[in-house]
Structure 1
Amino acid sequence: MNMIDSEIQLPNLNLPEIQPQLKKQDGKLFIYDFHRKRDLILTPEEWVRQHWISFLLVQLNYPKGLLSLEKGMKYNQLQKRTDVLVFDQSGSPYLIIECKAPQISINQKTLEQACLYHSTLKSKFLILSNGMKHVSLRWIAEENRFEQLKSFPEAPI
């Protein structure tokens, strides 16, 4: 566990460590989002999302300009937001990452939520993650189904 002060404990995740810029203001903890260039309230889900952003950009060499965070979309008149959306070089959705807090299990409900986003955006890949467990899926359009992968998708070319 990373200790910020006696009140806040951030779990070590099953992702490469990050060096976050954290600050406390008005009793709330904030994390600086280098991609959006602003401070965000640090929630357990945001902790996971920031690790994924770093992993995509640093370890997997995804181009920064292809990432979109908390992108709004409509599904059946409801306003929804993807946690992380990556586009390919032609601007088509390539990867959706659905982040959950570390204490939330990756289950059928999580998959169904991510599939709602996929049904609208038609991405080639989908990752479900709570920072501890990750499920990486590839969409097989001809068979109208997902296939589970043993690794994460490479950066779009």
Structure 2
Amino acid sequence: MQALDFPAYDFRLKNSENKSYIFDPIRKKFILLTPEEWVRQHVLQFLIKTKGYPASLINVEKEIKIYDTKKRYDIVIFNSDGSIFLIVECKRPKVAITQAVFDQIARYNLKLKASLLMVTNGLHHYYCAMDFEQERYHFLKEIPNYIIK
């Protein structure tokens, strides 16, 4: 798989029937290794090992309903009170991060009400803080490390 703009992490990989799989520590199972999954697993390791977020507060690939349409978010981090702190949208490295990608995560956030958003293709990362009063987001240089509240 392609090198990404994240620290080097150790992954559990396996091959079966000429397909590669990567172990997801949140879902606790091996997942087919696609370019998007490669990015998602790097983000999970970044959030857990680099930023210090507890795995117990992280959710991966869950379905949500938005305007009678079923969608799936990539990664969500919860606050300890159950509210949503961060939504992450992962794209494969060859997908450009465009306004359409930001529109996608903004639509998810209409329902989820996260404080922070992250969009990445593994090579380029964008972080945003929500301003719900102005119905906008503001770009950040990075997301904060986990702080026990």
Q: TM-score, normalised by structure 2?
A: 0.95
Further displaced range: 65-74 or 15-24:
15-24
Alignment partners' CA distance in 2, 1:96 and 1:34: 18
What's the offset of the Cα at 1:35? 2.0
Gaps of 5+ in 2: none
- Backbone CA RMSD of aligned residues: 1.0
Match of 2:129 in 1: 138
Instruction: Please give the secondary structure, in 1, of the residue aligned with 2:100.
Output: helix
Further displaced range: 29-38 or 133-142:
29-38
Counterpart of 1:73 (choices 60, 64, 68) is 64
Match of 2:37 in 1: 46
Counterpart of 1:153 (choices 116, 125, 144) is 144
1:1-157 to 2 correspondence within 5 Å? 10-155=1-146, 157=149
Judge conservation of contact 1:125–1:153 (CA < 8 Å) in 2. no
Identity of aligned residues (%): 36
Q: Deviations over 1:38-97 (max 9, x none)?
A: 110000000000001111111111011110001210011111111000110110011000
Alignment partners' CA distance in 1, 2:110 and 2:120: 19
Q: TM-score, normalised by structure 1?
A: 0.91
Instruction: Please give the secondary structure, in 2, of the residue aligned with 1:82.
Output: strand
What's the offset of the Cα at 1:153? 3.0
Misfit runs of 4+, over 3 Å: none
User: For this pair of structures, how many residues does the alignment match?
Assistant: 148
Q: Deviations over 1:7-28 (max 9, x none)?
A: xxx1111011121111111121
Judge conservation of contact 2:26–2:59 (CA < 8 Å) in 1. no
Judge conservation of contact 1:85–1:97 (CA < 8 Å) in 2. yes
Alignment partners' CA distance in 1, 2:7 and 2:74: 19
Q: Deviations over 1:97-131 (max 9, x none)?
A: 00000110100111111111111101000000000
